[in-house]
Amino acid sequence: MTHMQGKTAVVFGVANKRSIAWSIAQKLQGAGAKVIITYQNERLAQEAAGLIADLPGADGFQCDVSSDAEIDHLFAQLKSKFGKIHTVVHSVAFAPAEELKNDFLLTTREGFRIAHDVSVYSLIAVTRAAVPLMEDGGSVMTMSYLGAERVVPRYNVMGVAKAALEATVRYLASDVGAKKIRVNAISAGPIKTLAARGISGLGEMMKELADKAPLRRNVEVDEVGNSALFLASDLSTGITGEVIHVDCGYNVMGF
Ligand code: 0WE
């Protein structure tokens, strides 16, 4: 597979080897891409170093996407080291834990602000910083979830943030399309990552999904990685502003 030969990809959201972003990074590298992994802070640098060592040719940089200064600094470094980039993978989301436990009605102003800042605004900021480096055109992608479209109990403010994220994908796609830059989202089915751990009832949700989904199973992280590779590659040059469901078909069912 050489679909990404000569292309450079920047991946945000690798926390550990179970991360969706890690699966995507591996698929991109396997297809010939030069992969840059970012990690949020010093504390996560160790974990990232171990992963980067497993990915031939990969590089790591620190970047907290909630900081404009860190985003600017990252892309300045990327410009001087690599000149141009072709792919951005945004696989970042956060809401304060309490917001995912109580009724949505109890969403706090601060919880709402944090969820939207980290999970939505960061895509705008990262895309804006990446555009000048995407001289050959490019592909930007983010991760969404069905809770953007329908009520998933306890997903709460993250559902509202994912709805805003999906709208953001469409507005960004419209702004950068003339530069041959595409912006899309993958709406993945539930996967047991670090972000999903400790979410009560996730096990039962996944059992129910495996019963009801057309493919009668849950999605595997590798399948999200493969779809991400498709969106990063020139196989998808006609697709932008889109939300692709990679969920074993669960979203199409009404009953
Ligand atoms: O987008 C997500 C999870 C994102 C997430 C997870 C956490 C846990 C730790 C965002 N913020 C936090 N904050 C924390 O403190 N998913 C699609 C996975 C997920 O999360 C749920 C789900 C599913 C599925 C929460 C409630 C119900 C279902």
Q: Where are the domains of the chain?
A: 8-249
pLDDT at residue 1 is higher than 90: no
CA-190 nearest atom, ligand 1? 24
Q: Is 118 in the pocket of ligand 1 (CB under 6 A)?
A: no
pLDDT at residue 139 is higher than 90: yes
Name the average pLDDT for the chain: 97
CA-95 nearest atom, ligand 1? 11
pLDDT at site 195: 85
pLDDT grade for 191, boundaries at 50, 70 and 90: very high
CB atoms within 10 A of CB 230: 20
Average pLDDT over residues 170-178: 99
* CATH class label, 8-249: alpha beta
Q: For residue range 117-137, what is the model confidence (pLDDT) as tens digits? A: 999 999 999 999 999 999 999
pLDDT at site 247: 98
Ligand 1 mean position, distance from CA 132 (Å)? 32
Q: Is 196 in the pocket of ligand 1 (CB under 6 A)?
A: yes
* Cα–Cα dist 24/223, whole Å: 9
Q: Is 158 in the pocket of ligand 1 (CB under 6 A)?
A: yes
Positions of E strands within 72-162: 87-90, 138-144
